[in-house]
Amino acid sequence: MLLFPFPPLERGADQSVRFLTTSLLSSALFPIRWRRRSIFGSDCAKPREMKGLFITFEGTEGSGKSTQIQLLAERLRAAGRIVRVLREPGGTPIGEEVRHILKHSEQSHAMTAEAELLLMNASRAQLVREVIRPALAAGDLVLCDRFYDSTIAYQGYGRQLDLNVLRTIIEFAVGATRPSLTFLLLVPIEVSEARRRARQPEMSNDVPPGETKPEGHTPPVIREPWRDRIEEAGRDFFQRVEDGYGAIALAEPRRVLAIDSTQPVEAVAAAIWRRVEPLLEQTKTG
């Protein structure tokens, strides 16, 4: 197996390494603009005033994020913890409307990369203040399907916007609220494409599996087609997104755990649990 400076990768010993070799190689060859530089200078931040735990899930479409979030939430709830499952863009009434504009509105094809960046972060700013901070302050566990790493990967690497501008905007949106832990689920582009194609082709209510509605809070359910504007981008775009994720994982190996998500669902869930379980002791229960 080729060895490149890549973060620890959780995977079963009997799994194929082919796609990883490919993605590692592409990461190694790609002129990484983010190499060894964490997003905000601190790897694995946990603001002192926060009692809860903030965990994010990242990866391309079809990488199994929704399934793993659901499994982890069930396990944490079974352990008696209060869990908030959120997603980006979205997660608040305002954020869900922004999500619709970003992904499916009739006008969305005219959207510029700059407007996309700002809308992603408008949704984020709302989610952080309306839901994430209060939940963490109450000692809850917050699982979020995507967070600012998606902006780095999609708008920074995919759309090739200036990374320094992104950093400033993200920092304005999130303030001191940073994930303590991020799971980066890796699948080869071909697998991601195939899984996307295999999804229900018609309409869905666009609510990921699991509970996305915090108590006392009901985001509107907007019916949307599965395929969205961003998913229509070409393979080059998604290759750059993957490179971006590789660079993030390289830069923040303590916060970001890259997992081979072509493994069986249970193996991925076990790798996630191994990392989460020890952290539970450190969080207060309410």
Instruction: Provide the 8-state DSSP code for 263.
Output: S
What residues does 259 pair with on adjacent strands?
10, 185
Is 63 a binding residue for ligand ATM by CB under 6 A? The answer is no
What is the DSSP secondary-structure string of 30-98?
A: S--SSTT--SSS-SS---TT--SEEEEEE-STTSSHHHHHHHHHHHHHHTT--EEEEESS-SSHHHHHH
Is 88 a binding residue for ligand ATM by CB under 6 A? The answer is yes
Tell me whether residue 46 or residue 159 sits nearer to ligand ATM (CB atom): 159
Query: Which listed residue (146, 167, 240, 255) binds ligand ATM by CB under 6 A?
Result: 146
What is the DSSP secondary-structure string of 272-285?
A: HHHHHHHHHTTS--
Smallest gap, in angstroms, from Cβ of residue 236 to ligand ATM?
14
Is 89 a binding residue for ligand ATM by CB under 6 A? The answer is yes
- Residue 111 φ then ψ, to 5°: -70, 135
Distance of alpha carbon 219 from alpha carbon 212, whole angstroms: 8
Tokens of 220: 């509107």
Distance of alpha carbon 49 from alpha carbon 55, whole angstroms: 16
Smallest gap, in angstroms, from Cβ of residue 3 to ligand ATM?
30
Distance of alpha carbon 186 from alpha carbon 190, whole angstroms: 12
Q: Annotate each residue in 204-243 with x if it binds ligand ATM (CB under 6 A) or - if it does not, as one string.
A: --------------------------xx------------
Tell me whether residue 46 or residue 146 sits nearer to ligand ATM (CB atom): 146
- State the number of binding residues for ligand ATM (CB under 6 A): 12
Is 120 a binding residue for ligand ATM by CB under 6 A? The answer is yes
Tell me whether residue 10 or residue 145 sits nearer to ligand ATM (CB atom): 145
Is 87 a binding residue for ligand ATM by CB under 6 A? The answer is yes
Tell me whether residue 132 or residue 230 sits nearer to ligand ATM (CB atom): 230
What residues does 133 pair with on adjacent strands?
none
Q: Annotate each residue in 20-59 with x if it binds ligand ATM (CB under 6 A) or - if it does not, as one string.
A: ----------------------------------------
Residues contributing to the site for ligand ATM (CB under 6 A):
61, 87-89, 120, 146, 150-151, 154-155, 230-231
